[in-house]
Amino acid sequence: MTQSIFISGAAQGIGAAIARLFYQKGYKVGIYDINAVQAQQLAEQLGSNAKAGLLDVANYEDWQNALAEFSTWAGELNILVNNAGILYSGDFEKTDIQAHHRTININVNGVLNGCHAALPYLKQASFARVINLSSASAIYGQADLISYSASKFAVRGITEGLDVEWQKYGIRVLDVMPLFVQTAMVKDMDAGTIQNMGVKLKAEDVAAQIYKSATAKDRVTLPTHHPVGFEAGVMYHLSRFSPQAVNRISNLFLSKKK
């Protein structure tokens, strides 16, 4: 049976790049997004092995309906990619509290909803894996990106916990941790970190890592976290060994606005 992948927030950006790559690799691809029209346009561009649908990731009932529809169409659900997310940047106190709450609702509750609703389908599949979109912002809390960074720390925690808990089902739960990616989400960002480090990754770079993580053999040595790009890799590995004071000082330096 042809394997399948279900991607949230797949109508554009990283999600669309994931959909294109996996389609090229012969997968049945689920392109689900709150922008159903744009999702359908991408599915039509790709071909008959792509299916699009409406999904507000903050709505659990939407997840139930979308996954039931997709699994019936695809035959089984093999890979779930929790990609949907939003970002607000700028001074914490100058960002509306509703924006902070919306970030948590979509970036965190969206992942919780997706994993919870997908488990019955993943348990029935011949092969099953979950890939969550975390971020290099989950390595150390980021100034000017407070709620986004916090949401990605939560995604990291969800990933680590479920990767252990779902071993009993033979399901690995992994994440990818890119730095800033050239998508609409980072346009006009008000954060010192992006000014100092720039935007070097493309959506296709993240998609390539997700494909690698999704298809890697399930060995004991297969890591849970997968930094994307040289800078994210350096930040991740250094943070594991350097003192907290050094991590704080380096982030103070990187967060200074020009």
The catalytic residue positions are 148
Side by side, which strands form the sheet with 4-8? 50-54, 28-33, 4-8, 79-82, 129-133, 172-178, 225-228
Alpha-carbon gap, residue 13 to 204, rounded angstroms: 9
CB neighbours of 49 closer than 8 A, spacing ≥ 6? 2, 23, 26, 27, 28, 29
Name the 3-class secondary structure at 226.
strand
Alpha-carbon gap, residue 52 to 186, rounded angstroms: 25
Q: 6: part of which helix (H) or strand (E)? A: strand 4-8
Q: Which two tokens stand for residue 71?
A: 């699994």
Cβ distance 141 to 82 under 8 Å?
no
Query: How many Cα atoms sit within 13 Å of 124 on the Cβ side?
Result: 10
The type of residue at 119 is L
**Which DSSP state fits 181?**
B
